Amino acid sequence: MISQNKFCIINVLQKMLDKLRMIEIKRAEELEISVVQVHAIFEIGKLREVSTNEFSKILYLDKNTVNKIVNNLVDEKFVLRHIHPENTRHVILKLTENGQKIYENIRDDFKLYCKRILDNLPEKSRESITKDFEILLKSMEDNA
């Protein structure tokens, strides 16, 4: 049985994920590309560069599906791919300047959303919540 406090944390995290998803949907509509492509751009942007093998694990998709997504993003000039200099079997993905702008717009939209929420809280609550989220984030990283 999930306690009320745990349910509240789950609910907050789910709402934040929903908001990020809505930001990605909006950006996809503006760019006239799929939400999956926008999400892929966002994930590559967070990592700066990633191998296609790791990327398929991050997206929870098979390599063929990831290759189709990446091919479209390369064709749209949002992603660059190159062979890893030390291991020629690994392909590395990195955002182009256009892809980087998309990533930064999504990141900035989400930061603005979070800032508006925090700005609506009393100062004392804001400090407490910020500290609690730092603790939660550390726990999440420790249990990844």
Give 118's Cβ-side CA count (13 Å radius): 14
Tell me the mean pLDDT in the region 41-63: 93
Please state, for a pLDDT cut of 90, what percent of the chain lies above it. Answer: 50
Q: Is the pLDDT of residue 33 over 80?
A: yes
Tell me the mean pLDDT in the region 74-83: 94
Mean pLDDT of the chain, nearest integer: 88
In this prediction, residue 6 has a pLDDT band, given cuts at 50, 70 and 90, of low
Q: How many domains is the chain partitioned into structurally?
A: 1
Q: Is the pLDDT of residue 3 over 70?
A: no
Q: Is the pLDDT of residue 1 over 70?
A: no
Question: Which residue range is the domain that position 64 belongs to?
Answer: 4-142
Per-residue CA distances from 126 to 109, 112, 137, 139 (Å): 20, 15, 16, 20
Q: Which residue has the higher pLDDT, 125 or 70?
A: 70
In this prediction, residue 49 has a pLDDT band, given cuts at 50, 70 and 90, of very high
The pLDDT, as a whole number, for residue 68 is 95
Amino acid identity, residue 9?
I
Residues 103 and 21: their CA atoms lie apart, in Å, by 13
Say which CATH number the domain at 55 has.
1.10.10.10
